[in-house]
Amino acid sequence: MLSHHKRQLAFFLASFHIFIIAASNYLVQFPIEIFGYTATWGAFSFPFIFLATDLTVRIFGAKMGRQIIFYAMLPALLVSYVVTVGFQDGIWMGTGQLFIFNLFVFRIALASFMAYVVGQIMDVLVFNKLRQHKQWWHAPLASAIVGNFIDTFTFFFIAFYKTSSLIHAEKWVEMGTVDYIFKMMINAILFLPIYKFILDWVLKRFKLQLS
């Protein structure tokens, strides 16, 4: 039985997963140029899911961590579909759009589901193997490298291989590669430095012990 504080934290982490997945699935539609290479705006948002995953596993352990992650999955995909179909260029197109099947958006949602399952399972497995190491940064670094690689290319292949959007169909490998590199840079520059700070703050704030 989870304590009141842990239930609150589990709900917050699940909500954070849902928000990041929905935001990323919307932003991945929009290509951008980074140093002459094509990427997507989703590269800026999706790395946060690995921060949430690693904190979840660190605090709750592998078994409970998987449960929290999978409970968030279906709501995240439903929210993703509604947001992505309903909004075009940031403008709400009306509820009628929700009843028109959109293959492009459906593939993004399906790709997100498959990549999320495979990537997060690998992330949890790798992280759980290393989370007891004396060097705290071993687990988040290794899980970010493995999880992001599998997640990124699973997603881009399913979502954009021979899709209706020409730029996505032609450049999905380039987009995936740039996204992966950018995610690694974000993890190294931003997440690793703040990870330990956030973990210590959460444990102190909720008076928790590591699982």
Give how far Cα 82 sits from Cα of 92, 114, 115, Å.
Answer: 10, 18, 19
- Assigned domain for 97 exists: yes
Q: What is the maximum span of the chain, computed from C-alpha positions, in angstroms? A: 55
Q: Does 190 reside within a domain?
A: yes
Q: What is the SS3 assignment for 117?
A: helix
Measured in degrees and rounded to the nearest 5, phi and psi for residue 100 equal -105, 120
| Domain range for 189 | 4-30+39-206
User: Residue 176: inside a domain, yes or no?
Assistant: yes
Establish if 211 belongs to a structural domain: no
pLDDT value of residue 207: 61
pLDDT score recorded for residue 148: 78
Question: What is the distance between the alpha carbons of residues 16 and 37, in angstroms, rounded to a whole number?
Answer: 30
How many domains does the chain divide into? 1
pLDDT for 89 equals 66
Tell me how far apart the alpha carbons of residues 131 and 58 are, in angstroms, rounded to a whole number: 7
Q: Is position 72 within any domain?
A: yes
CA distances, 70 to each of 27, 63, 75, 150 (Å): 22, 11, 10, 18
Q: Is residue 111 part of a domain?
A: yes
Q: Is residue 125 part of a domain?
A: yes
Mean pLDDT by 10 residues, the chain (211 residues): 73 88 88 85 80 76 79 86 80 81 87 78 66 62 74 91 90 91 76 66 62 52
Q: What is the pLDDT of residue 199?
A: 66
Q: Quote the pLDDT of residue 8.
A: 81
pLDDT (0 to 100) of residue 177: 92
Judge contact between 118 and 150, C-beta under 8 A: yes
Do the domain assignments include residue 74?
A: yes
